[in-house]
Amino acid sequence: MHIHTDPAVIAGYLEDASGFIHGWAKRIAIPENDSDIGGFLESASRQHEPVTVAGGRTGVAAGCIPQGGTILSLERLATLGPVAGNDHNHWIEVQPAVRLEELKSVARSSGLMYAPDPTERTGTLGGNVATNASGGQCFKYGTTREHVLGLEAVLATGEKLCLERACHTLADDLLRYRLASGRTLECRRPQLPLLRVDKNAAGYYSRPGMDPLDLLIGMDGTLAVITRIKLRLLPAPPGVFSLFVFFPDLSQALDCAKLLRPLGRAASPNPGLTPASLEFMDSNSLRLLRPAFPLIPGHAQALLMAEQEFTQENEEALLASWQDFLAAAGVPDNMIWLAQAPSDRKRARDFRHALPEAVNTLVRQSKLPKVGTDLAVPPEAFAGMFRVYVQSLQASSLEHLIFGHIGECHLHVNVLPRNEAELLQAKALYLDFAREAVRLGGTVSAEHGIGKLKHDFLKIMVGEDGLREMARVKRCFDPSLILNRGNIFPEEYLEETR
């Protein structure tokens, strides 16, 4: 274990992508291998020394930013196992600091794919699992959770926990974990409001009949340090084309998305359309992109982007199906871009990534933070939620854009305040949106997590009782309350459970 106490070295670990600037720590501990971690955590627990786990530090909710104590950086635990499996099932075991881009590339070189696709590829698999990260292809393949087959983790007590999916039992709502020490850890499943969305990164996972493994996914480092992950790999599709469909009318785009939405998780070998992703940009997003992409049709008011996987046998049929579908939806050919060749696909990726980059440039120029939402609602509530966004934003005269994962009813509203008063107004609006999303059965964070920045939002979603439930679960795993303090719930809920 390497220990650094030089403030200059520590300073480099006090930042992630959240812009949160209030981190501090006494030291950094960097284990050389995972067997270093148990003794370190056991000693930290005895001394009640807070420990904050750092992965790739690309998080946007300040989860890895310490509030004192020691940073545990897993950066040296970055080994990938060989791709394993048989004709039908493939998997790979990775240490937590393996970067997403490396895993994707190793899978690709074996003719396979790791399906989860968060935009930021320098994030680590440990971070991806701890935040249950997701991306565009979540529409077809689900979030990170659905690709985790097993985990090894070390508890704050220093005890090791090995979990395989479907190997631990949940009886009478009791989560039961057999630890390597021989002890059995038992903990009642947190009683939380049931959500009607598939995609959720807010607080602990809890469903009747859940696999106990799932509690560890999306726990934001508050329950254990993940030291090894077994991940499912899938056969890589032989080909993918991307469609960019521009609409002169917003409601036409929303109607089209509504028709496509049920096709996302169609597990059956549907001979028709099976989009892997379904994304949206509003007219303000398109306006921001026009200077760099002047071919965007001048009268376009909205854009839907879909990706379609194909084989050599069905490529023509799928192209024809999309053409028929879009013609029936009233979209003329000249409002459709098709990216099929590798060079076009690269341009398509650049187009998608240009939007967050353009937003970040504006944020840097204005020197005021953007206010970006991460709410998702059930499909039947989507139209209502969208109406609330549009009406409230129009009434506010705030500069804004709306884009994101329309397939999963998960759009990001980005407000770009021009002064402090607008910043306050945007934050108030975000709270209103969060209340509405919860009222409609949705989540306050579908993708980015709660971390240290969104406690108020989680409280709206699960209430004080829900926060107490989560704090109770944390105490079962981490009796000295040392791991990732400040993440998910405010400190006072931990103190209450002492």
Ligand X SMILES: Cc1cc2nc3c(=O)[nH]c(=O)nc-3n(C[C@H](O)[C@H](O)[C@H](O)COP(=O)(O)OP(=O)(O)OC[C@H]3O[C@@H](n4cnc5c(N)ncnc54)[C@H](O)[C@@H]3O)c2cc1C
DSSP SS3 for 371: strand
Place of tokens 């192209």: 319
Residue of 45, 124, 206, 308 that binds ligand X (CB under 6 A): 124
User: Residue 113 CB: number of other CB atoms within 10 A?
Assistant: 20
Tokens standing for residue 153 = 């983790």
Please identify which residue in 31, 38, 50, 126 interacts with ligand X, judged by CB under 6 A.
126
Contacting range for ligand X; rule: CB under 6 A; set: 82-90, 123-131, 338-346, 437-445: 123-131
Stretch that binds ligand X, among 22-30, 161-169, 217-225, 311-319 (CB under 6 A): 217-225
Contact window for ligand X (CB under 6 A) among 120-128, 246-254, 288-296, 309-317: 120-128
Tokens (6 digits) for 478: 């981490």
What minimum distance in Å lies between the beta carbon of 124 and ligand X? 3
The least distance separating ligand X from the CB of residue 484, rounded to whole angstroms, comes to 5
Q: How far is the CB of 351 from ligand X (least distance, A)?
A: 16
162's tokens: 């090995």
**Two tokens, residue 6:** 């030089």
**For 411-481, where are the alpha helices, taking DSSP H only?**
420-439, 455-477
Site stretch for ligand X (CB under 6 A), options 51-59, 249-257, 332-340, 375-383: 51-59
Tokens standing for residue 181 = 């020490």
84-85/174-178 β-pairing: unpaired
From CA 274, how far away is CA 276, in angstroms rounded? Answer: 6
Q: Which is nearer to ligand X, 220 or 469 (CB)?
A: 220
Q: How far is CA 37 from CA 20, 184, 383, 456, in A?
A: 27, 20, 48, 33
Site for ligand X in 221-250 (CB under 6 A): 221, 225-226
Smallest distance, ligand X to C-beta of residue 225, A: 5
The interface mask with ligand X, positions 3-22, x = CB under 6 A, is -------------xx-----
- Residue 353 exposed, middle or buried by CB count within 10 Å (0-12, 13-18, 19+): exposed
Cα→Cα distances 281→14, 101, 287, Å: 33, 26, 10
CA distance 412 to 9: 35
Task: Report the distance separating Cα 488 and Cα 459, nearest Å.
Answer: 10
Among the listed residues 487, 489, 493, 494, the single contact to ligand X using CB under 6 A: 487
Tokens of 84: 């394993």
Question: Min. distance of Cβ 65 from ligand X in angstroms?
Answer: 8
Q: Considering only 28-36, 124-132, 202-210, 281-289, which stretch makes contact with ligand X by CB under 6 A?
A: 124-132
Report the residue closest to ligand X, judged by CB: 127
Site for ligand X contains 484 (CB under 6 A) = yes
Which CB sits closer to ligand X, 59 or 466?
59
118: contact with ligand X by CB under 6 A: yes
* Shortest separation between residue 363's beta carbon and ligand X, angstroms: 12
Query: Which bin fits 161, alpha (ψ -120 to 50), beta or left (φ > 0)?
Result: beta
C-beta atoms surrounding 443 within 10 Å: 27
Options 220, 279, 408, 478; binder of ligand X; rule CB under 6 A: 220
Least separation in angstroms between residue 38's CB and ligand X is 14
Residues 391-450 that bind ligand X (CB under 6 A): 447-448
Considering the complex, what minimum distance in angstroms separates the CB of residue 321 from ligand X?
28
Stretch that binds ligand X, among 78-86, 112-120, 192-200, 270-278 (CB under 6 A): 112-120
Q: Which of residues 64-103 bind ligand X (CB under 6 A)?
A: 64, 74, 96
**β-bridge partners, 152:** 162, 228
Stretch that binds ligand X, among 218-226, 342-350, 383-391, 433-441 (CB under 6 A): 218-226
- Region of 55-63, 266-274, 282-290, 375-383 interacting with ligand X (CB under 6 A): 55-63
Contact yes or no for 155/161 (Cβ under 8 A): yes
Query: Which secondary structure element, helix H or strand E, spans residue 229, and what is its range?
Result: strand 225-235
Instruction: Give CA–CA dist 473/221, Å, rounded.
Output: 13
The residue among 415, 396, 393, 412 whose CA lies nearest residue 404 is 412
- Rounded to the nearest whole angstrom, what is the least distance from the CB of residue 239 to ligand X in the complex? 23
CB half-sphere exposure, 395, CA atoms < 13 A: 8
Question: In whole angstroms, how close is the CB of 452 to ligand X at the nearest point?
Answer: 9
Min CB(96)–ligand X separation in Å: 3
Beta strands in 9-101 (DSSP E): 27-30, 51-54, 70-73, 84-85, 90-94
Contact with ligand X (CB under 6 A) among 14, 28, 44, 53: 53
Classify strands 70-73 and 51-54 as parallel, antiparallel or unpaired. parallel
Whether the CB-CB separation of 444 and 436 falls below 8 Å is answered with no
Count the site residues for ligand X by CB under 6 A: 36
Contact residues for ligand X, defined by CB under 6 A: 16-17, 52-60, 63-64, 74, 96, 118-120, 123-124, 126-128, 130-131, 133-135, 220-221, 225-226, 447-448, 484, 487
